Amino acid sequence: MLLLGIPRTRPGRLLPRKSMSILRARATNKSYSTTRSSSSKNSIKYIAATGIASSSGLWWLITSSAHDDVPNLEKRPLSKQSSADLDLSKKEQVTNIISREAYSYLVRNIPGVDRYDGAQVPSNSPCEDVFIHGSFPSPCNDGNQWMAWAVLDGHAGRQTADVLQEKLLPFVRRSLEHVESSPLQNLGPEETVQRAISQGFLDLDETIFNTALDAAKSNEPLYEKVDKLLPAFSGSCALLSLYDPITSTLHVACTGDSRAVLGQQRPDGTWEVMPLSIDQTGRNEEEIARLYREHPGEEDIVKDGRVLGLMVSRAFGDSRWKWPLEIQEEMKRNFYGPAPLTPKYDVRTPPYLTAEPVVTTLKIDPSRASFLIMATDGMWDMMSNHQAVHLIGDWLDTQQAAAEEQEKKHNQPEPAHEPIIGDFGRLNEVFVDARKTIQDDNAAVHLVRNSLGGNCHELIAGRLAYSAPHSRYLRDDITVQVVFFNTRNLKRG
């Protein structure tokens, strides 16, 4: 056995004679105490280490402090704050959690857009949702600015969503810039833009897979290969909205089951609910028909609302639903990629998923107040389009109210206590109108709060008390954006 991993100079001899004599001389020094106190023990170790280092070149044994940095287990080590460390009985703690990632921007220079709010509450660790928001140069290259908002819902990791956050808008913008020189110019202007947006989505998904396949065959270091493979292995939904202020046109592109809905105020002050996307899942009859049309004779593609086990019918990435089996097996063998879907599922003619979005285009009426709600399925699992639109409509009424009404809002009586401790079945309840509450200045946080429990603090706190991975049985990552148009025309409801 080698002491401290130092090789012997020859069999049966650990150190040179000179080093051994140094150790003996220091051991017999008069300053050495036979009582062997704790400090003297440290001195012995340091003297011995010095002798060893002088012959072995372990310089760090000499230059290091004589005092070690070993943690004292009698003192509680510092750790990241968890939900167990939070006092969720305090309402301000709940508000802090659901507002932690919130943002709100007033828009001054884009006609028609007044403000937008956003919020995110994770369930996974790390959160697999990401988002995009802001202005960018018009693809018409006319010196104007467009606006863009997106929510990107990753699954099986966030690597694909991270790529979309960086690349989706540039790919779509590049595709739109090429419209004038492409055959699409023979279509109507609305359809031309829709086709260009779709092409941008498809081009990016193809790039993700080409990058992965090229990396697998390259001579790059393994860590660089893995970095390029993971966005193909994982997956992501994408919901992107583009607003052209010159024509007051909103384009909404949806791949997956994130959802967009527009609330538009009627002349009588009520709100019209206008769905701008439909969830693309194994429960969507049009999607089911499309899949069986594209894969004739394969009867078991969709079962229990899932496409070969996956909830969504369209997504970026997700190589197991797109690559031929031989490539999947090669990736599994060489790079520990995800196991192929076989033999559990009958995979015959991939790809079964597509990143092609369904694009909806509409004109925003400048004479009416309206708002756009975009959210990942973590929110839509808990409430309907109608409920979400009317929650924002009520929030706007409250924002517009006079100062005394604002004070009345903040001093509204507490709801009757709803005991749910121990009643875990209540944690799966969806939003009901009786739990509506208006207490947040951020519209997206307002939706998040109501989706998690509304005026029932106990219910929200109970859901937030669960951390990853257990929280995924109760709630998904939630990402919400709310965009307000032409609010100067808002009428009191």
Each residue's pLDDT tens digit, 147-161: 999 999 999 999 999
Share of residues in the chain with pLDDT > 70 (%): 76
Q: Tokens 């960086």 appear where?
A: 166
Q: Would you call 111 helix, strand, or coil by DSSP?
A: coil
Q: How many CA atoms lie within 13 A of 352 on its CB side?
A: 29
* Domain boundaries, position 94: 86-128+376-404+417-492
The answer on 397 and 249 residing in a single domain is: no
Shared domain for 358 and 383, answered yes or no, is: no
What Rg value do the Cα atoms of the chain yield, rounded? 31
SS3 257: coil
Q: Is residue 467 part of a domain?
A: yes
Distance of alpha carbon 175 from alpha carbon 454, whole angstroms: 42
Asked if residue 180 belongs to a domain, the reply is yes
What's the total number of domains in the chain?
2
Are both 247 and 139 inside the same structural domain? yes
45 inside domain: no
Cβ 363 vs Cβ 243: under 8 Å: no
Nearest Cα neighbor of 351 from 377, 381, 387, 327 is: 327
Shared-domain flag, residues 341 and 470: no
Burial of 85 (0-12, 13-18, 19+ CB in 10 A): exposed
Between 143 and 260, where is the model more confident?
Answer: 260
* Contact by Cβ (8 Å): 436, 98: no
417-467, pLDDT tens digit by residue?
A: 444 444 555 666 788 888 899 999 999 999 999 999 999 888 888 899 888
d(CA 281, CA 189) in angstroms, rounded, equals: 29
Q: What pLDDT does 37 receive?
A: 43
Residues 144 and 234 in one domain: yes
State the sign of the Cα–Cα–Cα–Cα dihedral 488, 374, 107, 250: negative
**In this predicted structure, which of 97-111, 184-198, 384-398 has the lowest mean pLDDT?**
184-198
- For residues 306 and 350, membership in a common domain is answered with yes
Q: Do 386 and 289 lie in a common domain?
A: no
Identify whether residues 185 and 226 lie together within a single domain: yes
**Residues 289 and 380 grouped into a single domain:** no
**Per-residue pLDDT tens digits for 29-79:** 443 333 344 444 444 444 444 444 455 566 656 665 556 677 777 765 555
Average of per-residue pLDDT across 401-412: 51
Residue 216 lies in a domain: yes
Please check whether residue 265 lies inside any domain of the structure.
no
Is residue 42, in this structure, part of any structural domain at all? no
Q: Which residue has the higher pLDDT, 275 or 66?
A: 275
What is the per-residue pLDDT for 17?
42
pLDDT of residue 90: 83
pLDDT higher than 70, residue 1: no
The reply to whether 79 falls in a domain is: no
234 three-class SS: coil
pLDDT tier at 343, thresholds 50, 70, 90? very high
CATH number at residue 303: 3.60.40.10
44 in a structural domain: no
Q: Bin 256: left if φ > 0, else alpha if -120 < ψ < 50, else beta.
A: left
Same domain, residue pair 152 and 245: yes
Lowest mean pLDDT among 24-28, 93-97, 370-374, 486-490: 24-28
Looking at the fold, whether 160 and 235 belong to one and the same domain comes out as yes
Token digits of residue 373: 């709600």
Say which amino acid occupies 17: R
- Residue 229 and residue 186 share a domain: yes
